[in-house]
Structure 1
């Protein structure tokens, strides 16, 4: 069973009991914010899914004959064919399968319901049930979780996945609820972040001076690119392509999947292998949504989250291996001769912002 279930279950027992009484009285809980069919109008229901993850069986504790039903919403900012977008559909498929259709999840991709901040704010108040975003927004209220975005935290992508699946990370997910109205229920590889520019070849910190580089509006990203020597420029993701095209910014940094899916190769020439952040994303759930569910359905959703996360890892690995060839074929010049050690040294002070016991625990994951 998933890490943290028992601890979380004990913490929520009293509130869960009340929710189950309400359910027994015939209340059909339609999911926070899903009433009125909002999830049906423009979101994908995940029917057919993003593929098959091995035909997971329905969770045994779910009773196909009961009258509990919930229609829930998941939002993210990526295109539907991005690994995150495909993973969202896979999560929806798994939830439907594991709950025998009693719980359905409609997926709203490509910033349909807002940017990362707007989506996460909505998850906290329960008007959106699930979100796939990074760690930056949650870190504004719970700083510890931001360590997963710290520069050069993992040696490679396999190492990062081991960190994401560790007890350390799932303990932090449990702790989140003490700081906000949401918790992480799955984490997965997003991709090593590459720098892109239109005109400036970058091979070390000295080449970064004066470059306006778009970053997410989150402290750790701003601090990291500033430490690397750039002028870090926060900007909503939906504005990036046009800003690159018009020369408002000189470059941006993102994983290969994001660079390819959003066609940044059309407005950038250099693809620079800084790999300054070994990026990850997470699937977050509204506390209100989780508390509204009978235990068996909540367990099924949490199981689906872990399985979908592993599915996304595989999809992201597979896709990443093809992206460089694709971007090169589209005209980008790949710069592999990068002084990563210099960048590592320049960004090392960022770890001073975190609890050193936590830093040591993360670094102990092999």
Structure 2
């Protein structure tokens, strides 16, 4: 009997020891995992990241100064952990190759343009459409606020953002360097007041499938001309005018003599990043990029509103450009003759009909 109790005692002690060793091992593993996770978190918080951003514009242009503001804010808000290196003037590649370069991993980001993005996805042609937002010539912010609302709307700009993410590109900001694009001519006797006055003029367009259709609807001839050849083309009458924005015309001091103030197209300069690169960053740095992008849109709105008024003054007083403000009746004529542009977008671009329906809320 004593032998039996002794064996039972030894067995209990053995089982207790095993249980204690198991808990010790379990605790060690848990503590090890906790330590490893903690070390990994600390490592991410200490690691620094650099993003490469390219654009095709000179350093004195709004495109670059907006990106300098963005980069400075990102670095400040990330406590120096996230830096954006900016390569302007198409140093790394032509502007129309920036998005392919993002997808191939050559660069991480771009300050692109809606006309360039139309070749990546035709949905961007929506910003090439004429008369899609109401406007007040004396108050640029009225037009800009409407376009910002469309960009923020679920069935507008956010639908475009969703399509882009499906293709590997994330939009961080719907930026821009001006309000709307309009028509300018190189001689005062070529002033365009209504569709009849545009007949047979040669007008340079920024390309795509929409603006050439708009120019055709005006009764003019659409001419494709490289951006570097625009000044020479205007001076030598290879073209009679062009579609562009007031701020660009003023900043570049284009050889123009007339300006017809009407929203014939609406170019944007979105800030985009590789979705893969974005998602590889720590979540807090992703938040920094998104929040700074949202604040960039507000900053751009303020800068462009002031800049547009300054551009109007420079065009009129320094460059002696003659302004023409179409009457309500003339605007209705313009709307009517440019309807084929909207039909083309509706019929040829996937999702175009839905975006046109959403745009009706902003006219």
- Give the structure with the higher percent helix: 2
For structure 1, the 5+ residue unaligned runs are 1-23, 28-61
Q: Deviations over 1:130-180 (max 9, x none)?
A: 2223223333343333213311111121211221222231232022122x3
Pairwise CA RMSD: 2.6
Matched, 1:348 2:339: yes
After superposition, residues 16-165 of structure 1 pair within 5 angstroms as: 66-156=45-135, 157=143, 158-165=145-152
State the shift of 1:64 in Å: 9.4
Following TM superposition, by how much is the alpha carbon of 1:96 offset from its aligned partner in structure 2, in angstroms? Answer: 0.8
Greater radius of gyration (CA): 2
Q: Report the Cα offset of residue 113 of structure 1.
A: 3.9
- Contact map agreement 2:203 2:221 (CA 8 A) in 1: yes
Match of 1:184 among 171, 183, 194: 171
TM-score (norm: length of structure 2): 0.76
1:241 aligns with 2:231: yes
| Partner Cα distance (1:226, 1:121) in 2 | 31
* Displacement after TM superposition at 1:365 (Å): 4.9
**Structure 1's 195 and 289: CA in aligned 2 closer, same or farther, altered over 3 A?**
same
Question: In 2 relative to 1, CA 250–310 (structure 1 residues): closer, same or farther, beyond 3 Å?
Answer: same
TM superposition shift of 1:115: 4.1
Kindly indicate whether the alpha-carbon contact (under 8 Å) linking 1:166 and 1:365 is maintained by their aligned counterparts in 2. no
CA apart distance, 1:91: 0.9
Q: TM-score, normalised by structure 1?
A: 0.75
Could you report, residue by residue, the CA deviation over 1:1-44 in whole angstroms, capped at 9, with x for unpaired residues?
Answer: xxxxxxxxxxxxxxxxxxxxxxx9x99xxxxxxxxxxxxxxxxx
Flag as ranges the 4+ runs of structure 1 deviating above 6 A: 62-65
Quick one: structure 1 residues 211 and 362, their matched pair in 2 at CA, closer, same or farther if it must change by over 3 Å? same
Bigger drift between 290-299 and 239-248 goes to: 239-248
Question: What are the Cα deviations for residues 100-133 of structure 1, in whole angstroms up to 9, with x where unaligned?
Answer: 1111112233444444312233233232222223
Number of positions where the alignment pairs a residue of Structure 1 with one of Structure 2: 305
> Do residues 313 (structure 1) and 310 (structure 2) align?
no
> Unaligned regions of 5+ residues in structure 2, if any?
1-36, 136-142, 347-351
Answer yes or no: is the 8 Å Cα contact 1:133–1:281 preserved in 2: yes
Structure 2 CA distance for partners of 1:213 and 1:73, relative to 1, 3 Å:
farther
Distance in 2 (alpha carbons) for counterparts of 1:64 and 1:259: 49
